[in-house]
Amino acid sequence: MAIFVDGEICKGCQLCIHFCPKKVFEVGEEVNDKGFIIPKIAHKDQCIKCKICELICPDLAIFVER
């Protein structure tokens, strides 16, 4: 199982951080070319593949592989 965050299109809205029921994401330290802070996948092992992050992302920057 893998979670991908496309840092080039992410706008750092942090919706994935707030809506993930297992708190897989945290505020990251990486900044993309547009100046947005990219969320960090901090607890990948806790992911239940609910895909809420993928569905809530307004930029379609997250993909959860089953």
Q: Which CATH number is 56's domain given?
A: 3.30.70.20
- The predicted-structure confidence for 17-57, as pLDDT tens digits, reads as follows 999 999 999 999 999 999 999 999 999 999 999 999 999 99
Question: What pLDDT band is residue 1 in, cutting at 50, 70 and 90?
Answer: low
Is 5 a residue whose pLDDT tops 90? Answer: yes
> What domain range includes position 17?
2-65
Q: Dihedral angle at the C-alpha atoms of 10, 63, 16, 32, nearest 10 degrees?
A: -20
Name the domain count of the chain.
Answer: 1
Specify the residue for token string 């990251």: 28
Q: What predicted TM-score, i.e. pTM, was given to this entire model?
A: 0.89
* Alpha-carbon gap, residue 45 to 16, rounded angstroms: 16
